[in-house]
Amino acid sequence: MKSEDGIVVTADFIAVIDGSTSKSQLRHSMWRSNGRYAMQLISRYISRMPKDITCQEFLRGVTACIRKHYKKSQMSRLAEHPEDRLTASVLVYSRLSREIWMVGDCQCLVSPLGTCQSAPAYTYYDNPKPAEAVLAAQRADEVKRLLAEGVTREELLLNDTARPVIIPHMIETMRQQNVSYSVVDGFPIPFQHVRTITLDFQPWEIVLATDGYPFLCPTLQESEERLSRQRSTDPLNIGPDFQATKGFHPDNNSFDDRTYIRFRV
């Protein structure tokens, strides 16, 4: 399956987009996954945005962009079943407003550059889904139970039978989508669940990334090294340092799609 993450760079905006892996059999496109379709629609919208768009205008506009790709006959079901929607998390830097807009589960680092020669001091920001850590812990407990029963690590890496156990819980928590947490899904986004970071006019270094990096670092190389170390030491993602709702499949070099960009403003 092709990546459901994307990146957009224009003269006025830099963004990373994380299309959500579908938990439904409903497909909105015959040749693309729902997550990839959502990512592509949002990428196109951001690439055409006016440079002076505000965060709230962006939220309304990107919501309308997704919504117009739903069939009228689907709207009642989509209102009741968020798992059927085109869904993505989005992280946008606006050059004109000097703001970072965090919609959904994404992460970033920011550091004032200043004039000193010491290493930059980065501040980490994220905007996680409230239930994500609980679901990851539930899966970790199920994996540990299976291991104790004699299922091998290699068997679980090939066929993660612990993940289907939490899928119903994941779908249930999605009923809080754009209620207790924010995503882009064609339904109104509550502004209070969008994290906004405002930068002053001194020089800044910024890292934007999707949640495919369990440990976000100031460079891509460091972030990839930490990801590789996680794969080597805890490929099931059940340890104390990091837990996830899925592990590393042996055929993949990560457990999730990932996107990373670093820049200075």
- State pLDDT tens for residues 170-198: 999 999 999 999 999 999 999 999 999 99
pLDDT digits (tens, 9 = 90+) for 11-22: 999 999 999 988
Contact 62, 45 (CB under 8 A): yes
Q: What is the pLDDT of residues 128-150, one digit of tens each?
A: 998 999 999 999 999 999 999 99
Question: Is the confidence at residue 10, as pLDDT, over 90?
Answer: yes
How far apart, in whole angstroms, are the C-alpha atoms of residue 132 and residue 89?
Answer: 14
Residue pair 22/108 in contact by the 8 Å Cβ criterion:
no
Distances (CA, A) of 20 to 120, 124, 169, 220, 229: 33, 23, 16, 23, 25
163-166's contacts with Cβ under 8 Å and 24+ in sequence apart are 163/139, 163/245, 163/246, 165/138, 165/139, 166/135, 166/138, 166/139, 166/142, 166/245
Chain center to CA of 93: 15
Average pLDDT over all residues of the chain: 95
Residue (of 93, 115, 91, 96) closest to 213 by Cα position: 91
Do 15 and 261 contact (CB within 8 A), yes or no?
no
pLDDT tens across 78-132, in order? 999 999 999 999 999 999 999 999 999 999 999 998 655 566 789 999 999 989 9
Q: What's the one-letter identity of residue 104?
A: G
Where residue 60 falls among pLDDT bands split at 50, 70, 90? very high
